[in-house]
């Protein structure tokens, strides 16, 4: 009995210990007052790349730099950054570790790191504008730094710029296996009766859900309406009742005039997409001769590594938006954003590394060497194109691999890429987002 | 003459001294406290998380607060219009999956154990060693093999798998995706458990009872159901105990085969419904506690664990006929070829294909398309059709993860094996003590809790302002040790219970120290069981994913790296990692076998 009592007391003591001090945390710093990191960022925004590099050398020589990101290529960019710093000071040395967490853990990792007075991670390269806005920026965990050269290239003033700093935009585009007879000439064709496009689930990659939420924004709902208007009568007759049935939902959700078109497309997409674990398997499937008439929405750059064989060919697929006369959205774009952490142990080095990646060709090369990733710095984007010739890389042999570039992809009437807007996504996350959550998902029968 | 009053303090001191002079008491006290903390603290942390408000998630939206505590996660999960989708359907699927997995593993493993131990079937040694291969391989790799074999454009809306391509046969969807294939894959993966546990009893079973029944002219089916099966009931219960929780906590298999379970829901809900995901983890843990309770009840009813066996040396083997003994052996050779050898052949082939899953050389006979690029490419700058990766031999991520995993597995095996052995010893010595019973249960509880839930709990516990162990070997070792102690404690306890206390008492009379008694008497006698208490954590740890998934980054250990490559569709890399894992485990198993004479299937059908 005594032993049981002892065990109970021990357990309770631990439970109390665990819960002790769990009250709401109060920030000791008065609102509006700048933190040390804020001051450094403000100062850094007025500095040139070289000035920043000197500050970084001063700060991080002989130390270890920890970065965390959704892209593994930060690991390839860091050695080049160190080489660059060594070109200024030959004696400079820095160790580094780049982590790539899985399954959304990056947000929890950054949150727990932010609780320390000095964090482990100096900076991050992160995707999913919606969660960044609500979990990282609204909470003050991540800070935006705008490099001077990047602002100049984009004709902006750093301290007046309000968005996040994108390293690049990646595109996921509609493709289909063209060895059969099916035609996909309109974005509504992908949600037409009997079609089950391959797609990563909206729950496993949240940027996919952001894409769906973005469709309800007036601009993109308008694009969907315009594409709908170009459908033939049979297809219109199929979609019309669904659109009408969603008018009241669109009103309830406070959407614009074409909101019901967006909701109808979203509903049919969620009801019908065939979920896969990643874009890699989707690409492997679509380029195979046996995947006749199948379609998918996947990262464009996956096409780069396909090797020709008896069954597999890049020419087995078509990029929907590249077809003459294609109407509607060609896919969606999402960004990799760069941030300094609020308790960065090496803030100057973080700023210099961010400037290096966004303002120099060698800094962006780890991503730029492949098609389908577009630097947010127009000058760097041009340099990358001059070096790697992505627009003609496929030649006449593999036209699907001729990347038409960011401008083409995002223009109305051309690629019509739906671009992620973190603010909009976070605003509709629990209205449109929750509406999406209750939709049924496709299960093959 | 006055009688001196007894000095209560001296008596107390003496009692304490006597108590502490028994090593088993110190072991139980020490590990009782440590294991209480290591088991209870993560549970408390995750319970706390269910009440916490997380910025940017549903609880913030529903409460309008960015921090603090609320019960809104509970009300939303159980009562909102998403309850069916987020909770009840996954819960039902999970229960079906766990039950079906138990049934498949027991039927397949049990039948095989019977044939190996109780019949004159041929090729036993080969079959016995090959049968445990699916357990060596990470469970979801069989799921990927299943996809490659059975998927088809016509049914699953993908590219054709091997069977559809070669034979133009299209399997129905229930065979390709969902509950059935998930349970089959997990059942095959855990069948070696059933084989080892049930086989152990069959091997040592007293045949006199069956012979008596035969003399009394009892029909064979009646002997099977009235005599044999009741005798192996403890082993069946043990298998259920081990497999149910494991199947429930499996994330990758249902994930790859498109079945929504509590584990897959935990992962998918974690970003927007963080607190509700923690409730799901708690629900999975409750199942673990319930299973432990059921085990306790069954223990009470039979007053022992799995060792109900007598030790008859008169084991008679059922004769299955001159042709039968070869025919049954050959049938199992064919079956195990598809469950154990075929996946390995596919893994090896995959590393030479031009594109992931592109087996076109099989249909065209054109071997020129095969390539060694996945092994030999020594850079990742040029576009080599490698998706930005260096070849396997030059891939730093793979080799860094390999050595990290090896270190992790050795550390977990040594620590968990030693602690488990000591606990088994101490509990066997104090078997009537309630504290010993408590220590035994608290050591076993983490094993019954689904891995994904244990991983989630450890992540929450060790990611705070005071301590942040995410992505460190320290955290993985802590989680691994806590999770794998039961392997060692159970096998140690079962074997220690078989040792008569007289042996040790004789040594005590001779004033032999405890360490010497352990090293010279106890350990040598039960060497085989104790070594399996080290081998099982080692092997399990090498390819563990669900437990470590939430605790480290993608390239940190081999299983997360393997899963990363599988998810990305880069099957050449994942297959190569599989081969590396299988070879590593076989090398270690052989080494241990040569050095100590013990092996995983020793005493059943192996050497």
Mutate to test the interface with B, among A71, A75, A286, A290 (most CBs of B within 10 A): A290
Residue B150 and residue B229 in one domain: yes
| B178 close contact with A: CB closer than 8 A | yes
| B358 close contact with A: CB closer than 8 A | yes
Residue B386: predicted pLDDT? 83
- Cβ of A135 within 8 Å of Cβ of B56? The answer is yes
Asked, for residue B601, whether it belongs to a domain, the answer is no
Residue B122 and residue B137 in one domain: yes
| B396 close contact with A: CB closer than 8 A | no
Structural domain containing residue B362: 351-380
Domains of chain A: 36-167+336-381 (3.40.190.10), 171-332+404-437 (3.40.190.10)
Contacts of A19 in chain B (CB under 8 A): 44, 48
B534 vs A285, B187, B484, CA distance in Å? 42, 24, 9
Residue B486 and residue B459 in one domain: yes
- Cβ of A311 within 8 Å of Cβ of B358? The answer is yes
- In chain A, the residue whose alpha carbon lies closest to the alpha carbon of B68 is A24
- Which of A204, A285, A310 comes nearest B159 by C-beta? A285
Residue B359 and residue B325 in one domain: no
pLDDT in tens, B218-228: 887 888 888 88
Q: Is the pLDDT of residue A176 over 80?
A: yes
Out of A214-218, B439-443, B540-544, give the one with best mean pLDDT: A214-218
Rounded to a whole number of angstroms, the distance from the CA of B381 to the nearest CA of chain A is 8
- Cβ of A306 within 8 Å of Cβ of B355? The answer is yes
The more confident residue out of B316 and B402 is B402
Q: Is the pLDDT of residue B402 over 90?
A: yes
Determine the 3-state secondary structure of B119 from DSSP: strand
B357-361 contacts, C-beta under 8 A, 24 or more apart: B357/A284, B357/A288, B357/B148, B357/B159, B357/B569, B357/B571, B358/A284, B358/A288, B358/A307, B358/A309, B358/A311, B358/A312, B359/A311, B359/B162, B359/B165, B360/A309, B360/A310, B360/A311, B360/A312, B361/A309, B361/A310
pLDDT in tens, B298-332: 766 554 433 334 445 555 677 888 899 999 999 99
Secondary structure (DSSP) of A204-223: TSHHHHHHHHHTTSHHHHHH
Residue A366: predicted pLDDT? 93
Judge contact between A292 and A179, C-beta under 8 A. Answer: yes
Residue B607: predicted pLDDT? 43
Question: What distance in Å separates the CA atoms of residue A387 and residue A434, rounded to the nearest whole number?
Answer: 45
For residue A412, how many other CB atoms are within 10 A of its CB? 10
Q: How many helices (H) and strands (E) does chain A have?
A: 19, 12
Q: Is the pLDDT of residue B190 over 90?
A: yes
pLDDT in tens, B39-63: 889 899 899 999 999 999 999 999 9
| B341 close contact with A: CB closer than 8 A | no
Residue B130 and residue B200 in one domain: yes
Give CA torsion, residues A290, A205, B253, B554, to 10 deg.
Answer: 110
Q: Cα dihedral sign for A345, A346, A351, A356?
A: negative
- B507 pLDDT band, cuts 50/70/90, is confident
Rounded to a whole number of angstroms, the distance from the CA of A105 to the nearest CA of chain B is 7
Residue B402 and residue B362 in one domain: no
Give mean pLDDT, residues B464-481: 89
User: Residue B319 half-sphere exposure, CB side, CA atoms within 13 Å?
Assistant: 3
Give mean pLDDT, residues B353-362: 89
- A31 pLDDT band, cuts 50/70/90, is low
Asked, for residue B570, whether it belongs to a domain, the answer is yes
pLDDT in tens, B263-275: 999 999 988 999 9
Q: Which helix or strand (DSSP H or E) is residue B94 part of? A: helix B89-118
Contacts of B37 in chain A (CB under 8 A): 14
Rounded to a whole number of angstroms, the distance from the CA of A325 to the nearest CA of chain B is 27
B 40-79 → A contacts, CB under 8 A: 40-41, 44-45, 48, 52, 54-58, 60-61, 66-69
Asked, for residue B15, whether it belongs to a domain, the answer is no
B 79-98 → A contacts, CB under 8 A: 81-82, 85
Provide the angle, in degrees to the nearest 10, between the axes of the packed helices B179-204 and B139-150. Answer: 130
Contacts of B385 in chain A (CB under 8 A): 305-307
Give CA torsion, residues B251, B252, B255, B258, to 10 deg.
Answer: -110
Residue B281 and residue B360 in one domain: no
Contacts of B269 in chain A (CB under 8 A): 203
CATH of the domain at B292: 1.10.3720.10
Contacts of B53 in chain A (CB under 8 A): none
Q: Is the pLDDT of residue A292 over 50?
A: yes
Give mean pLDDT, residues A326-338: 97
The more confident residue out of B134 and A33 is B134
Q: What is the mean pLDDT of chain B?
A: 87
Determine the 3-state secondary structure of A335 from DSSP: strand
Question: What distance in Å separates the CA atoms of residue B478 and residue B214, rounded to the nearest whole number?
Answer: 52
Question: What distance in Å separates the CA atoms of residue B529 and residue B417, rounded to the nearest whole number?
Answer: 11
Residue B230 and residue B373 in one domain: no
Q: Is the pLDDT of residue B606 over 70?
A: no
Residue B357 and residue B453 in one domain: no
Mutate to test the interface with A, among B278, B553, B564, B570 (most CBs of A within 10 A): B553
Lowest mean pLDDT among B98-107, B297-306, B310-319, B344-353: B297-306
Residue B370 and residue B411 in one domain: no
Q: Is the pLDDT of residue B566 over 80?
A: yes
Rounded to a whole number of angstroms, the distance from the CA of B187 to the nearest CA of chain A is 23
Q: Is the pLDDT of residue B348 over 50?
A: yes
The more confident residue out of B505 and A226 is A226
* Nearest residue to A102 (alpha-carbon basis) of B389, B573, B471, B391: B471
Mutate to test the interface with B, among A285, A362, A398 (most CBs of B within 10 A): A285
Q: Cα dihedral sign for B433, B435, B437, B443?
A: negative
Residue B203: predicted pLDDT? 75
pLDDT in tens, A221-231: 999 999 999 99
Residue B461 and residue B372 in one domain: no
Give mean pLDDT, residues A166-173: 97
Residue A16: predicted pLDDT? 41
Residue B367 and residue B414 in one domain: no
- Cβ of A201 within 8 Å of Cβ of B387? The answer is no
- Cβ of A292 within 8 Å of Cβ of B363? The answer is no
What is the total count of domains within chain B?
2
- B602 pLDDT band, cuts 50/70/90, is low
Rounded to a whole number of angstroms, the distance from the CA of A86 to the nearest CA of chain B is 22
Rounded to a whole number of angstroms, the distance from the CA of A327 to the nearest CA of chain B is 25
Determine the 3-state secondary structure of A275 from DSSP: strand
- B522 pLDDT band, cuts 50/70/90, is confident
* Nearest residue to B425 (alpha-carbon basis) of B344, B345, B498, B510: B498
Rounded to a whole number of angstroms, the distance from the CA of A155 to the nearest CA of chain B is 32
Asked, for residue B606, whether it belongs to a domain, the answer is no
Q: Is the pLDDT of residue B140 over 50?
A: yes
B 279-338 → A contacts, CB under 8 A: none
Asked, for residue B389, whether it belongs to a domain, the answer is no
- Which of A99, A116, A278 comes nearest B468 by C-beta? A116
Question: What distance in Å separates the CA atoms of residue B143 and residue B204, rounded to the nearest whole number?
Answer: 35
């Amino acid at each position: 009995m005594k032993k049981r009592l002892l065990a109970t007391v021990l357990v309770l003591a631990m439970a109390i210990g665990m819960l002790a001090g769990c009250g709401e945390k109060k920030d000791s710093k008065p609102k509006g007052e700048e933190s040390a990191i804020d001051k450094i960022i403000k100062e850094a925004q007025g500095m040139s790349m070289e000035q920043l590099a000197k500050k970084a050398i001063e700060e991080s020589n002989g130390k270890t730099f920890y970065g965390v990101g959704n892209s593994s290529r930060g690991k390839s960019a860091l050695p080049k950054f160190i080489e660059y710093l060594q070109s200024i000071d030959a004696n400079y040395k820095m160790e580094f570790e780049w982590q790539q967490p899985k399954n959304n853990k990056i947000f929890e990792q950054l949150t727990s790191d932010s609780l320390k007075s000095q964090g482990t991670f100096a900076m991050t390269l992160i995707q999913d504008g919606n969660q960044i806005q609500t979990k990282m920026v609204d909470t003050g965990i991540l800070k935006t730094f705008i490099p001077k050269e990047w602002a100049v290239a984009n004709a902006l003033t750093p301290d007046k710029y309000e968005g996040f700093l994108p390293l690049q935009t990646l595109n996921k585009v509609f493709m289909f296996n063209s060895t059969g007879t099916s035609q996909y000439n309109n974005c509504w064709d992908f949600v037409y009766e009997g079609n089950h496009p391959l797609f990563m689930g909206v729950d496993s990659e949240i940027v996919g859900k952001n894409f769906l939420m973005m469709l309800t924004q007036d601009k993109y709902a308008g694009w969907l309406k315009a594409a709908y208007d170009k459908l033939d009568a049979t297809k219109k007759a199929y979609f019309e009742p669904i659109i009408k049935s969603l008018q009241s939902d669109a009103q309830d959700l406070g959407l614009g005039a074409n909101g019901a078109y967006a909701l109808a497309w979203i509903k049919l997409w969620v009801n019908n997409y065939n979920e896969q674990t990643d874009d890699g398997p989707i690409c492997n499937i679509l380029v195979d001769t046996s995947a006749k008439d199948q379609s998918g929405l996947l990262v464009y750059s996956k096409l780069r590594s396909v090797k020709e064989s008896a069954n597999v060919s890049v020419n087995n697929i078509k990029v929907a938006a590249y077809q003459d006369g294609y109407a509607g959205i060609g896919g969606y774009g999402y960004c990799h954003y760069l941030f300094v952490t609020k308790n960065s142990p090496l803030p100057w080095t973080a700023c210099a590394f961010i400037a290096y990646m966004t303002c120099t060709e060698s800094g962006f090369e780890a991503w730029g060497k492949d098609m389908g990733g577009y630097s947010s710095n127009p000058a760097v984007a041009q340099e990358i194109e001059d070096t790697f010739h992505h627009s003609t890389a496929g030649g006449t042999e593999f036209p699907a691999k001729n990347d038409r570039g960011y401008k083409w992809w995002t223009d109305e009437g051309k690629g019509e890429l739906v671009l992620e807007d973190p603010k909009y996504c976070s605003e509709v996350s629990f209205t449109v987002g929750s509406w999406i959550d209750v939709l049924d998902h496709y299960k093959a029968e | 003459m006055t009688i001196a009053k007894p000095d209560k303090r001296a008596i107390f001191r003496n009692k304490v001294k006597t108590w502490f002079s028994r090593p088993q008491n110190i072991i139980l006290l020490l590990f009782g406290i440590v294991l209480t903390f290591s088991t209870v603290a993560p549970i408390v942390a995750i319970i706390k998380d269910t009440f916490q408000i997380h910025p940017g998630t549903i609880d913030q939206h529903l409460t309008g607060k960015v921090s603090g505590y609320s019960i809104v996660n509970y009300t939303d999960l159980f009562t909102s219009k998403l309850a069916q989708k987020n909770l009840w359907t996954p819960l039902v699927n999970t229960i079906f999956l766990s039950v079906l997995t138990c049934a498949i593993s027991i039927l397949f493993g049990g039948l095989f154990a019977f044939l190996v131990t109780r019949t004159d079937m041929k090729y036993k040694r080969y079959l016995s060693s090959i049968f445990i291969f699916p357990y060596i391989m990470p469970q979801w790799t069989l799921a990927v093999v299943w996809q490659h074999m059975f998927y088809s454009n016509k049914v699953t809306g993908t590219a054709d798998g091997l069977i559809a391509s070669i034979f133009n046969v299209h399997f129905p969807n229930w065979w390709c995706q969902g509950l059935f294939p998930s349970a089959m894959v997990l059942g095959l993966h855990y069948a070696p458990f059933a084989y080892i546990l049930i086989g152990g009893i069959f091997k040592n079973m007293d045949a006199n009872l069956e012979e008596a029944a035969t003399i009394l002219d009892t029909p064979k089916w009646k002997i099977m159901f009235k005599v044999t099966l009741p005798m192996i009931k403890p082993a069946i219960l043990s298998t259920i105990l081990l497999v149910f929780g494991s199947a429930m906590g499996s994330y990758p298999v249902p994930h790859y085969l498109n079945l929504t379970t509590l584990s897959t829901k935990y992962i998918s809900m974690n970003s927007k419904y963080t607190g509700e995901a923690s409730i799901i983890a708690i629900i999975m843990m409750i199942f673990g506690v319930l299973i432990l309770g059921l085990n306790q009840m069954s223990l009470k009813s039979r007053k022992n664990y799995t060792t109900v066996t007598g030790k008859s040396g008169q084991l008679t083997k059922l004769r299955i006929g001159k042709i039968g003994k070869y025919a049954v052996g050959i049938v199992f050779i064919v079956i195990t070829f598809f469950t154990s050898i075929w996946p390995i052949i596919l893994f090896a082939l995959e590393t030479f294909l031009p594109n992931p899953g592109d087996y076109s050389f099989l249909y065209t006979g054109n071997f020129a398309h095969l390539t060694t690029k996945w092994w030999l490419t020594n850079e990742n700058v040029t576009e080599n059709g490698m998706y930005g990766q260096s070849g396997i031999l030059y891939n730093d991520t793979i080799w860094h993860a390999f050595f990290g995993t090896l270190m992790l597995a050795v550390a977990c095996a040594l620590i968990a094996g030693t602690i488990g052995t000591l606990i088994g010893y101490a509990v066997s010595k104090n078997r009537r003590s309630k504290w010993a019973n408590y220590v035994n249960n608290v050591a076993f509880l983490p094993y019954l809790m689904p891995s994904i839930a244990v991983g989630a709990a450890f992540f929450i516990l060790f990611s705070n302002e005071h301590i942040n162990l995410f992505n460190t070997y320290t955290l993985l070792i802590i989680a691994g040790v806590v999770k794998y102690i039961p392997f060692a404690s159970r096998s140690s306890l079962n074997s220690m219970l078989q040792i008569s206390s007289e042996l040790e008492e004789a040594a005590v009379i001779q004033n032999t120290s405890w360490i010497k008694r352990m090293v010279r008497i106890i350990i040598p006698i039960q060497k085989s069981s104790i070594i399996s208490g080290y081998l099982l954590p080692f092997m399990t740890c090498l390819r563990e994913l669900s437990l470590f998934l939430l605790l480290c980054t993608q390239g940190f250990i081999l299983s997360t790296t393997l899963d990363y490559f599988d998810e990305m569709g880069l099957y050449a890399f994942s297959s190569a990692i599989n081969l590396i894992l299988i070879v590593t485990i076989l090398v270690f198993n052989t080494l241990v076998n040569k050095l100590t004479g013990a092996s995983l299937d020793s005493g059943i059908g192996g050497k």
